[in-house]
Amino acid sequence: MQEDQQQVEAFQITSRLLRGIFSILSGILLILEVLLSLSLPPKNPAARRVDAKSL
């Protein structure tokens, strides 16, 4: 019984860590995307509006 409890706790900790890592990665990707869109402005202003709406 105690072994099962330890496995459940380990699984919960691992899933929390993975969730944190994924959220950090998605945040980094979002920042990179914003920096890229700022450094490379599209020639077509309508394309920029579409990008802003998709976010």
Question: What total of structural domains would you count in the chain?
Answer: 1
H-state helical runs in 1-55: 2-39, 45-54
Distance CA 40, CA 35 (A): 8
Digit-by-digit pLDDT tens for the chain (55 residues) are 788 999 999 999 999 999 999 999 999 999 999 998 888 766 666 655 655 555 5
What integer pLDDT is reported at residue 6 of this predicted model?
Answer: 93
Neighbours of 48 (CB within 10 A): 13
What integer pLDDT is reported at residue 23 of this predicted model?
Answer: 97
Both structure tokens of 2:
């105690």
Both structure tokens of 10:
């380990």
Both structure tokens of 20:
């944190």
Domain that holds residue 17: 2-54
Contact at 8 Å (CB) between 21 and 27? no
